[in-house]
Amino acid sequence: MSQMPAKGSSVLIATMVGLFAIAVVGGLLIGKRSTPKNPTLEQSSSRGPFLYQGMCASCHGPEGRGDGVSAQNLKSAPRDFSLRPWKTLIDLPSIKKVIVDGIPGTVMPGIKNALAEPDLDALAKHVLKLADQNPSPTMKVFSKTDQLAIDAGFVLVANSSAPLLQLEDEQGNKSKLSDYKDKTVMLHFWGVQCPHCLKEMQSLLELEKSFQEKSFVMLHVCTDEDDAKVAQQIASKYALGIKIVIETSGIGLARYEVQSLPAFWLIGSGGRTLARSVGTKDWASSSCKSFIANQILK
């Protein structure tokens, strides 16, 4: 993987720390200056989201997905509240403790005594709400078995909103998974250092072409090379004409819990999860083609 020069890294880290400090201090000032003395029920219910946006959203994102505007500049990815397991219990006391004390050895700072207890409660409750309302699709119980899926080597997953992906191709064109909500998408997570991945590139390209008249798209997401041009050159040696992308947020693999390669996810129209699989397959087989055809526009 390509690396930044040492001097560039130092400048980036210094800038990152500065921006992060500004975000935290700004959030603390919001908390201190505008705490209602006698909050109404309506004010209390909106207090948590208000504090979260000022103190947490720049890193953890507006919906707690770990995709805030500062996330890409941090040395480690901020917590996506939907993913499991957490390092702590997922309850109010544990969340409050992390907010106050931070997590040593990480970029998560502690705010100490900066918030009054009612505000701390409100903020922790909102974080817990984000964790509960956006559960990881992989943590939900798999749905009923399906013979087509079994024959194709897939397992059906609970129908839920697909995690975010931020993508970029060799020309620098940026896109998101949500840009393809009107199509059925097959995510193909592969690596330039995965010989099995490279070996089946051509058969995946042919599979993709067989569905080109349908509302179907395959996104070939490279997992171990952060230069899209390099990844594209390598993939093209094995499948001329294939178009690859890289995931730019740095936390896409965690969102889809990719632990071995190649890995596949089927996302239905509307951005809902359908099925997942790991490992190479005979993509020319009737079982694979039938299963994918059956998922199109679901």
Taking a C-beta distance cutoff of 8 angstroms, is the pair 246, 228 a contact?
yes
Residue 291, pLDDT score: 94
Q: Which CATH architecture has domain 138-295?
A: 3-Layer(aba) Sandwich (3.40)
Query: 139 or 98, which is more confident?
Result: 98
Tens digit of pLDDT for each residue in 119-132?
Answer: 999 999 999 988 87
In this prediction, residue 137 carries a pLDDT of 52
Nearest of 48, 55, 59 to residue 16 by alpha carbon: 59
Average pLDDT over residues 183-201: 96
Q: Which helix (H) or strand (E) holds 109?
A: none
Is pLDDT above 70 for 23? no
pLDDT value, residue 6: 45
0.85 exceeded by the pTM?
A: no
Q: Two tokens at 120?
A: 């701390």
Q: Please list the residues that pair with 247 across neighbouring strands.
A: 167
Regarding predicted confidence, which is higher, 5 or 287? 287
Residue 36's pLDDT is what?
52
The whole-chain average pLDDT of the chain stands at 81
Q: What residue spans of the chain are helical by DSSP H? A: 6-33, 41-55, 57-60, 92-101, 117-133, 147-152, 195-199, 201-210, 228-238, 252-255, 286-295
Task: Say if residue 142's pLDDT is above 80.
Answer: no
CA distance 151 to 142: 17
- What is the reported pLDDT for 9? 46
Which is more confidently placed, 297 or 137?
297
Check whether 251 has a pLDDT greater than 70: yes
Domain boundaries, the chain: 6-135, 138-295
Q: State yes or no: pLDDT of 94 exceeds 50.
A: yes
- pLDDT tens, position by position, 222-248: 999 999 999 999 999 999 999 999 998
Contact predicate 281/266, CB 8 Å: no
Let me know if the fold of 6-135 is the same as that of 138-295: no
* pLDDT value of residue 38: 54
Instruction: Examine the pLDDT at 17 and tell me if it is beyond 60.
Output: no
The share of the chain scoring above pLDDT 70, in percent, equals 78
Distance CA 38, CA 121 (A): 15
Q: pLDDT digit string (tens) for 144-172?
A: 457 888 889 998 887 788 888 999 999 99
What class has domain 6-135? mainly alpha
Segment 257-271, tens digit of pLDDT: 887 899 999 999 889
